[in-house]
Amino acid sequence: MSREKTIQLRKSVKPFETTDKKASVIQILNTIPPFFILWALAYMSLSVSVWLTVGLSVIAAGFLVRTFIIFHDCTHGSFFKNKKANDTLGTITGIMTLFPYEKWKREHSIHHATSGNLDKRGTGDIWVMTVEEYRAATPLQRLGYRLYRNPIVMFGLGPLYLFLVSGRFNRKDAKPKERRNTWFINIAVVVIYTVTALLVGWQAFLLIQGIIMFVGGMLGIWLFYVQHQFEDSYFEDESEWDYVKAAVDGSSYYKLPLVLQWVTGNIGYHHVHHLAPRVPNYKLEEAHESVEPLQKATTITLKTSLESLRFKLFDEANKRFITFRELKTSAPARTRAALGEAMSRPKPDARKS
């Protein structure tokens, strides 16, 4: 894609970077109140059947994911025109989803600014190693990477790490405003969880809230993972990296059934979102349908998205993800210089997901 075409593509999406107060309010009303209603129904259903409670909790987890999309839009300043309104709602939904608003906003903006850049990985990203980096890694580093990329670890332990560890502490370089916001959310969560557990009983609270947070967290990690980890995803060195190409070629269009598209707040149009983060979630589909070049983005479905679990390493030579099995049959690193270059890059932060 030429520079002229990339500039034109960004201009084509610009008209959709406007908030609609009515649409935003409607989304709040059809997302947050239903979540609390489902939570109450799950609690009341305990006297009927624990399996009914589990089912209602799983449905509530879907509404938690939709709540996270509102939180996500607030971090981009795209849900409301007013910054204070975004920050207030973002903090409230941050308490609901257990994500510190200011911390997540900063790290996610870095993710958008560096997505697909091999020399600037590590903040807000899924840990990706290149073939050369993996070959040059120590046995312990390889083991750590294999464990990280294991689906049981990523989707089973990943939600626990996000909610209990990653989201509870700031980085050393965090500014006072960010630190205050994180501690405010932490304290609010402790108070709300304690009061709720005392009212409904800790067993009921752990069952319902545990299922909601675990299922919601697992779905969230899956959505983030699958939309950047497809076979021919875009990754380039800093010298060759291009923001528009990273957005359109490095983010997929996840074509979901209408119900799941609604629950996930249109985040399947991830290529549109990365190209223009200020487009609110309720306008992503319209932007995709209106701008023809966006319709050429890599399209994945529920069935084909499962293939992404096989991809483990990025092969720079062939510009695609490969499996560990393919690594065994591929040609070894050709020169010591290639290894040195691979290992000289900044190391990704494996803690980030």
Tens of pLDDT, residues 328-349: 876 554 444 445 555 556 555 5
In a domain, 221, yes or no: yes
The answer as to whether 3 is a domain residue is no
How high is the pLDDT of residue 243?
Answer: 85
106 belongs to a structural domain: yes
Q: What pLDDT, on a 0 to 100 scale, did the predictor assign at position 344? A: 57
In the chain, DSSP assigns E strands to 129-130, 253-254, 299-300, 313-315, 320-322
**Residue 172 included in any domain:** yes
Give the pLDDT of residue 241. 87
Q: What is the mean pLDDT of residues 147-165?
A: 93
3-state secondary structure of 269: strand
Q: Is residue 306 part of a domain?
A: no
Count of domains observed in the chain: 1
| pLDDT mean over 184-207 | 97
Specify the pLDDT at position 347: 54
Asked whether residue 196 is assigned to any structural domain, the reply reads yes
Name the pLDDT band for 202 (thresholds 50, 70, 90).
very high
Q: Are 258 and 243 a contacting pair, CB within 8 Å?
A: no
Q: Helix (H, G, I), strand (E, B), or coil: what is residue 117?
A: strand
**Would you state the pLDDT for residue 269?**
94
Q: What is the mean pLDDT of residues 268-292?
A: 93
pLDDT in tens, 281-331: 999 999 999 998 888 888 999 888 998 898 999 998 888 999 998 888 765
> What is the pTM for the complete model shown?
0.88
Q: Distance between CA atoms of 307 and 225, rounded to whole angstroms?
A: 12
- In this structure, the strands spanning 253-254 and 299-300 are parallel
- Between CA 231 and CA 214 the distance in angstroms is 28
Mean pLDDT of all residues in the chain? 90
pLDDT at 208 (0 to 100): 98
Q: Is residue 53 part of a domain?
A: yes
Terminal Cα-to-Cα distance of the chain (whole angstroms): 30
Q: What is the pLDDT of residue 250?
A: 87
The answer to whether the CB of 267 falls within 8 A of the CB of 69 is: yes
| Minimum mean pLDDT range among 6-15, 170-179, 184-193, 325-334 | 325-334
* 228 part of a folded domain: yes
CA distance 317 to 329: 15
- Domain holding 136, by residue range, is 18-242+311-326
Structure confidence at residue 147 (pLDDT): 95
Which pLDDT value is given to residue 143?
A: 96
